[in-house]
């Protein structure tokens, strides 16, 4: 699913405010089957609602207006609260990746990208083989002109032709259906 996400965006998003979505919606939509379009639209709408809810909030906490509280509650009490609040802000640091999970996730992402590349290469090789077979099938004569002679198959599919020196046998592997030998069927007694 490497095409679904924009690589590298997730790690930069973790430290900043979510400004854009990490999902490549255009590519996702292009790959969506026709029967799933309504589910996709509902999913994208829900995702956009979540993104809008996050963006509607301020990026930073609003500053506390201590002067307003000093006028109504008294300076000594508010000064004590302000001192405790500032101490608390310093005592509770921004969460750190203590278990180094982000680097593990990034390494897994790189490994999965490599696996996807290998799968893409294998699929492309399979597609090339399928194209080759289709080209060969298109070269075949019409069905009414074909016969069961082995040379017809060998002419159009030489890589699958039967080896005349080492012929294979057909089930039930009797001498009348193929070359008999000690590795296929015991010699028939006369």
Per residue in 143-166, pLDDT (tens digit) is: 777 776 667 777 777 777 666 666
pLDDT tens for each residue of 30-46 = 988 999 999 999 999 99
pLDDT of residue 167: 64
Q: Give the span between the Cα atoms of 179 and 164, in whole angstroms.
A: 11
Are 179 and 167 in contact by the 8 Å Cβ rule? The answer is yes
Mean pLDDT estimate for the chain:
77
pLDDT bin (cut points 50, 70, 90) of residue 172 is low
């Amino acid at each position: 699913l490497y095409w679904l996400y924009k690589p590298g965006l997730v790690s930069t998003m973790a430290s900043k405010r979510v400004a854009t979505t990490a999902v490549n919606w255009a590519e996702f939509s292009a790959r969506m089957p026709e029967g799933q379009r309504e589910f996709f639209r509902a999913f994208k709408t829900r995702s956009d609602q979540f993104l809008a809810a996050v963006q509607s909030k301020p990026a930073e906490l609003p500053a506390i207006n201590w002067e307003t509280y000093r006028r109504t509650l008294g300076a000594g009490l508010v000064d004590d609260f302000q001192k405790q609040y500032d101490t608390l802000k310093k005592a509770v640091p921004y969460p750190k990746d203590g278990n180094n999970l982000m680097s593990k996730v990034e390494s897994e992402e790189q490994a999965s990208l490599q696996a996807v590349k290998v799968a893409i290469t294998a699929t492309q090789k399979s597609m090339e083989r399928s194209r080759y077979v289709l080209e060969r099938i298109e070269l075949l004569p019409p069905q009414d002109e074909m016969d069961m002679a082995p040379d017809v198959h060998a002419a159009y599919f030489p890589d699958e032709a039967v080896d005349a020196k080492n012929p294979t046998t057909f089930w039930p592997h009797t001498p009348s259906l193929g070359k008999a030998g000690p590795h296929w069927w015991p010699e028939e007694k006369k």
